[in-house]
Amino acid sequence: MVEKHTLRPVQEASVTRMMAEPTRGVLIADDMGVGKTTVASEFIARMGFERVLIIGIKDTYEQWQERLEAQTDGALLLRWINADSVAGKKAYADFLASVPGAYFSGIEYLATQNFRLDQVYNPDGSPEFVKNKVTGQLTEKLKKKKVNLRTYVKMKPLDAIIFDEVHKVQNRVGNAARTLRMIKTAWKIGMSGTPYGNEFEGIWNPCIWVWPDHIDPSFIDWKMEWCESEMVRVKGGKKTEVTTGEKVPGTFVAQLPCYIRNEAAEKAPAAKVVHIDLLPEQRRDYEALEEEGVVYLGQHVLSTTLPVTLRSRLRTATLGVMSMDDDETVYFKEDTLSTKLNATKAILDHWGAQPVAIYCDSKQFVKVVVARMQAAGYNAVEWSGDVSSAGRKKIKRDFLAGEIQYIVAVIQAFSTGLDGFQKVCSKVLWLSQSENGILNEQAIARFFRPGRTLKYGEFQHVMLVARDTHDAGIYSKKLRQRLNMNQTLVIAEAEKARAIAA
């Protein structure tokens, strides 16, 4: 069994405050790396809970298992609920039967067991199809209805639910949120360094779950009271209200019953930016995307009409010369030309014989980078959603043991729930960043956190940025004009469809 942690004074204060909370609801918003898992595990141990559900992502299971076992002196052994093993299925059956114990599950799995999608049929027995909202014409998509199976209503109330990364349940009407509300429990502990997600209004759903009697049950009324917003025109020419932030920053969490926030003693330094120039072939594709929204890749045409898609394609175009297959999937050939790859070699050679993490938001490019590095003799492995849980565990063990020098990771796959990497690695290289700023923050926190190594000097992260591109936050005048024109065309097309329907 791993060593039991002695709580630091700030952690001791958090546990004491939680135990005294009369609402039995807590939101732990400690900065990443402060030790939320230790605090929650110690709280469970001191309260003497017998039936606990920990909701988290699968990569955190072992971390929770070790810490909970250590802090409870072996009294609680965490059981993973899943459909992939006999033990996982048995754990789920015991969970439903209210058998005492500590259980771990992803919220997605719990939700899929609670809802089912059934086909909708017409009165004559034929399958019903979805209608296009603009034209009113039938599409080829089958219409389905959501059926609530009420899987958890007969369970006895749990002693506590600990929801790690609680910001993931921001969708107010989604299956996850509805499932969470159906599982009865005495205590509710939400955990997230960013409980609001990417927008302030995202904090409502986690808070209404933790404190249903304290938070305004009407999201609209709550939003009017706390959120700053403005009206913007969207697709179809309609106007909608968009939240721009909190009216008075900090006032909402200040009135919550038990909101715990401890900042990390140190903040990661700013990334060192290394500018690179795109190759002529890359610049050609990039400018075609930026100025026209269309680029020819061999005999294929890649068209971009939505701003979010455009941003993604622009980032992709800075990585290397793109190709497209017959299924219109963008990919990179293994021998693709790339100035970012050239710069990567120079930086890695400069850092020398030490472990390095390399981040990129494109899984396709990560595969190319790994293949090229391995062919050149670099000890590199891929970390992405394509790597199994067992494969990830082995990579982590080998990286910590010094048997792997380079991890090339997709940001989304490596951003949460991983600890220990900071003990051996102090250098990070960004080939690109995610559109989701939270994922970038969480990704860097895998390495800049307490317990980090000084064997190779101070922590440093380097970002490769292509000049005069979306990488550098630059949009051309032509691109801004095109986006405005696209909006005008969308509105005009919607008006035309309505006129035809009338």
φ/ψ of residue 389, rounded to 5? -60, -40
Matching CATH topology for 9-114+150-260 and 272-472?
A: yes
**235 pLDDT higher than 60:** no
**213 pLDDT higher than 90:** yes
Task: Choose the weakest-confidence range: 213-217, 364-368, 417-421, 489-493.
Answer: 489-493
3-state secondary structure of 163: strand
- What pLDDT score was predicted for residue 133? 77
The 3-class SS string of 41-87 reads HHHHHHHCCCEEEEECCHHHHHHHHHHHHHHCCCCCCEEECCCCCHH
- What pLDDT score was predicted for residue 32? 80
Task: Choose the weakest-confidence range: 49-53, 331-335, 396-400.
Answer: 331-335
Dihedral sign for Cα 151, 154, 158, 160, please.
positive
Of 168, 215, 249, which is closest to residue 25 (Cα–Cα)? 215
Question: 9-114+150-260 has which fold?
Answer: Rossmann fold (3.40.50)
Dihedral sign for Cα 231, 232, 234, 237, please.
positive
Residue 11: pLDDT band by 50, 70, 90 thresholds?
Answer: very high
Higher-confidence residue: 137 or 409? 409
Dihedral, 60, 63, 68, 74 alpha carbons, nearest 10? 130
**479 pLDDT higher than 90:** no
Count of CB atoms situated within 10 Å of the CB of 28: 27
- What pLDDT score was predicted for residue 416? 64
- What pLDDT score was predicted for residue 485? 47
**Average pLDDT of the chain, as a whole number:** 87
* CA distance linking residue 155 with residue 146, whole number of Å: 22
* CA distance linking residue 42 with residue 118, whole number of Å: 43
444 to each of 85, 388, 414, 429, 450, how far by Cα in Å? 33, 22, 10, 10, 13
**407 pLDDT higher than 80:** yes
Task: Choose the weakest-confidence range: 20-29, 353-362, 371-380, 462-471.
Answer: 462-471
- What pLDDT score was predicted for residue 500? 61
Higher-confidence residue: 234 or 438? 438
Dihedral, 79, 84, 86, 89 alpha carbons, nearest 10? 60
Higher-confidence residue: 74 or 416? 74
Q: What would the two tokens of residue 6 be?
A: 């002695």
**436 pLDDT higher than 60:** yes
- What pLDDT score was predicted for residue 238? 67
**232 pLDDT higher than 80:** no
Please check whether residue 134 is in contact with residue 497, taking contact to mean a CB–CB distance below 8 angstroms.
yes
**120 pLDDT higher than 60:** yes
Task: Choose the weakest-confidence range: 191-195, 326-330, 371-375.
Answer: 326-330
Dihedral, 286, 288, 290, 294 alpha carbons, nearest 10? -120
Of 310, 307, 335, 311, which is closest to residue 321 (Cα–Cα)? 335
Can you say whether residue 393 is alpha, beta or left, with left for phi > 0 and alpha for psi between -120 and 50 degrees? alpha
Of 483, 463, 481, 465, which is closest to residue 473 (Cα–Cα)? 465
Question: 272-472 has which fold?
Answer: Rossmann fold (3.40.50)
3-state secondary structure of 363: helix
Please check whether residue 20 is in contact with residue 89, taking contact to mean a CB–CB distance below 8 angstroms.
no
147 to each of 107, 284, 378, how far by Cα in Å? 18, 50, 52
* CA distance linking residue 462 with residue 274, whole number of Å: 7
* CA distance linking residue 426 with residue 498, whole number of Å: 58
Annotate 191-226 with DSSP letters as a single string.
E-S-TTTTSGGGGHHHHHHH-TTTS-S-HHHHHHHH
- 267 Cβ neighbours under 8 A, 6+ residues apart: none
Count of CB atoms situated within 10 Å of the CB of 136: 11
Find the largest Cα–Cα distance for the chain: 73
Of 360, 397, 401, 403, which is closest to residue 382 (Cα–Cα)? 360
Percent of the chain at pLDDT exceeding 70: 87
* CA distance linking residue 497 with residue 136, whole number of Å: 9
Count of CB atoms situated within 10 Å of the CB of 19: 12
Strand-strand pairing, 323-324 and 330-331: antiparallel
* Residue spans per domain, the chain: 9-114+150-260, 116-148, 272-472
Average pLDDT (47-70) is: 93
Average pLDDT (149-160) is: 94
What is the helix, strand, coil percentage profile of the chain, to 5?
A: 40, 20, 40
Percent of the chain at pLDDT exceeding 90: 57
**101 pLDDT higher than 60:** yes
- Tokens 């065309």 found at: 489
- What pLDDT score was predicted for residue 489? 46
Strand-strand pairing, 427-430 and 356-360: parallel
Of 353, 406, 348, 345, which is closest to residue 381 (Cα–Cα)? 406
**306 pLDDT higher than 90:** no
